[in-house]
Amino acid sequence: MKGEIVNRYRLIELFVKIILWILVIAIFILKQMDVFESLPDYLETLVLALDLSAAVILSWFMPSSISERKFNKGLKLIDKDNDKAVLYLEDYLDSKTLSDIDRRHVLRILGVAKHKKGDDEGAIRCLNQALEGQDRDNDLKVEILGSMGIIYSESGEYQKAVEHFDRSFDIIFALSKAHIDKTILMQVINAYIKAGQKEKAVLIYDRLLMIRGFKRDARVEELLGI
């Protein structure tokens, strides 16, 4: 039902955009053809003002454009002012034009922002919401589960951390695709060691090395003692 409402809002906005673009293009063509020269000055000014207004609405005041600016502001403020970043991202989530997949991506980013703000409970809640549903975006699931693992790891809950990392690695190995930041990988491996699962960490690292494009990391190997 919610998806149908979102699609309705998107269709309405798309319809309005098409009408406004037709208006902008039609006025531009008519102006090039000097059609407006026969009009009184005040009417020509009114038509041109209408054309400009339509262009401004398309680029600046459509609901999706307003929402997109909020999202971009939120992204830019992460690490600079996490309190404001959270406010902008939460405001963006209220947009009626967001699809389910868009919402999940934003919830992941919002979870990270809340973690950086110091609100780990709120962060985990957002990330759990991002996992809800039957979404098939496995890359997104890997990012969400990895983020949850990092949050638990940084709060000292290493067992919970490795449980989420395990779920993330299950997807990674099923896809045979790994794009893991080396600093993050160090945190992940360290969480397994802290949880008393160093042997499992070695097995995971060995399996990662079998994935095409994944490169060895001297720091990780030193941490693992291999």
Question: 166-186, pLDDT tens digit by residue?
Answer: 999 999 999 898 888 889 999
Neighbours of 215 (CB within 10 A): 7
Residue percentage of the chain with pLDDT more than 90: 49
**According to the model, what pLDDT value does residue 162 have?**
97
Residue 145 is assigned to a structural domain of this protein: no
Residues of the chain with pLDDT under 70: 1-10, 12-13, 44, 54-66, 133-135
Q: Establish if 140 belongs to a structural domain.
A: no
Examine residue 142 and state whether it is found in any structural domain, yes or no.
Answer: no
Based on the fold, state whether residues 31 and 2 are members of the same structural domain: yes
State whether 207 and 225 are in the same domain: yes
Give the end of a domain, one of 11, 30, 61. Answer: 61
Predicted pLDDT at 59: 63
The domain that contains 108 carries what CATH number? Answer: 1.25.40.10
- What does the pLDDT read at residue 165? 97
Choose the final residue of a domain: 61, 85, 112.
61
Other CB atoms within 10 A of residue 105 CB: 18
Read off the tokens for 146. Answer: 């990895």
Domain containing 177 — which CATH number? 1.25.40
Domain match, 180 and 166 both: yes
